[in-house]
Each structure stands twice: as C-alpha cells, then as structure tokens.
Amino acid sequence: MCDVPGHVHDHDHPHDHDHPHEHEATPAPEGTGTFRVVVTGKGGVGKTTLTAILSRLLARRLHRVLALDADPQMNLPYALGIPRASARAIVPLSRNQAYVEEKTGVRSGSGYGLMFRLNPEVDDAVERFGVVGPDGVRLMVMGTVVQPAAGCLCPENALLSSMASALSIREGEVILMDTQAGVEHFGRALAKGFRHAIVVTDPSFNGVNVALHAARLAREMGMPAVHLVVNRVRTGSDLDRVRRIVEEEGGFEFSTEHALPVDKRLLDLEPDVGPLLAPPSSALVTAIEGLADTLVLCEEDLIQCAC
C-alpha cells in the first residue's frame, strides 16, 4: 500500500531480489486501469529505459498503455523496440507543421507576435499520429517546448499545453510520459490528471539535486504521489548515499522509494529493452515489476482517499 506522502518502499539489499510485496500481481482486465505518470530527472540517469520497460510490463498485464516521449533526446521509440527506420520517420507533434497550423491557425516556426488559437482542440492527436509498438504499447512523440523563461508564446507551446490537458481526461489507459528534468513547461494542466511523478536519479550528487528539484516542483503543482527511483544501485551504500544527500539538501517526503540494480547487459543491448524482458527475469526487471505493483496500489489508495 502507499501512504501519500510518507510510505517508504525500498530494497535495502538491491541484489536480493525477493518480490517486495506480499501479494501476487494479477493482470488487470483489458481496457481498465486509468492512471497517469510523469517520469522525470536529470539527463542520462535512465528515465527512458525505465519508461520503456515499465510501459511494456504494464502492457503485458493487459493494461492499455500510452507512452509519451517529451524528452529532448526523443529516444523512447528506440527503447520500446520500434524498428529504427520507423522510429526515425516519426515526426514529433510540435514539429508537425501541418497539424500545428490546422489546430492553431498558424504554421509552426512562422514567428512570434501572430494571432493564433491558445486552446486548440487536439483530442485526435493520439489516434492520428500514435504508433503501436511491441506488446501493443502505443507511442506518441510530443517533441519539446520552448521554456517559459524564454518568453515564448508560440503555437507549438499552445499545442503541447492543450495536449497535456487532453491527456489528463483520457480514460481506460495507463499513460507514461518520459520528460526532461521538470514539468513546468507543460503548465498546471499536466497536474490535473497526472497524479504520479517518478523522479529518477543515480547515486550521484548532481543527479539527486536535480531529482529533488523535480520532486518539489511536482508536489507544488499538486501531484500527490512522488516516487523516488534510484537507478544503477551497486550496493546498499549507494542507496544510503542518496538518502544522506536528500537530507543534507533539505529533505523531501517521497511517497515511495525504489532501488534499481545495475544491469551490465544494458550497454550491449541498447537501445531496445525487449531482450531484457525475455526469460529468465533479470534483477532489474524484477525491481521494475515491483515499481509497477506500487503504482497500481498507490493509484487505488489515491482513489479511496479522493486525493
């Protein structure tokens, strides 16, 4: 179960791989299970790999899964196992000039100071431009936005902000968004439906600092469940180091805490996570299965307490 915030779920011994829950995970009936998760953190800490594995594991439990790529690197198609030629051919939504013009009335990249629709209707975007990958995971590449600090009020930003709002009301899907280290660029529309933030870090000081920034921002925006995932854990001392840095940098009450062990095969197998999911299950995949269980249970808690 998940107290929001305050419950701690961890692996004190990341190389012991007993399942952390007392229950056995049971597949969800097809078409059920609605919750939305933002995956964020410093670049290079493993957000995309985690999003891809989590998406495919949840799809294998018969959830309908929509994976969103909003990271500047846009590597999620490759990680999910979509063939490289097909992945390269995907046009991010924010760069789809015809769609931007259709919805906002202004062509993408045509300049600033023009009149355009601030709240375009984008309910059809996933159905029109989504790509179905392995295990039935539907992928949508959103592209990146110009940060608000740059003073940009442009059609691309308006389109993606409306997309965040539209995603928040989709039902019968698990939605996972792989994004950069922060969610402010989507505005508070994102927090209306995305009630879970997975903040990913490695055991480094810089990684933890960025994770803390993202966690505090998610909580400020009203996301009730903020989960800490420490990736590439070698020993229990790595997890202790992260906890110590968190406390030294002002602390944060995470809803749950998870440690993902190092998997030396990742470098050889990248970018496709598919081979990792083949039997026998690896320690990394087992740990992410535990994270999937926690998300499902935590969403049930949020519904029950009407958070």
**Rounded to two decimals, what is the model's pTM?**
0.85
d(CA 6, CA 19): 21
| DSSP of 75-92 | -HHHHHT--HHHHHHPPP
Provide the residue-wise pLDDT of the chain in tens; the chain has 307 residues. Answer: 576 554 444 444 343 433 333 333 344 444 357 899 999 999 999 999 999 999 999 999 999 999 999 888 899 999 999 999 999 999 999 888 899 889 888 766 555 555 666 678 888 999 999 999 999 999 999 887 654 444 456 777 778 888 888 888 888 999 999 988 766 656 566 667 889 999 999 999 999 999 999 999 999 988 999 999 999 999 999 999 999 999 999 999 999 999 999 999 998 998 999 999 999 889 999 999 999 999 999 998 888 875 4
d(CA 307, CA 211): 23
User: Token digits for 39?
Assistant: 């995956």
Summarize the chain as % helix, strand, coil (round to 5). Answer: 40, 15, 45
Domains (ranges, CATH) in the chain?
Answer: 35-305 (3.40.50.300)
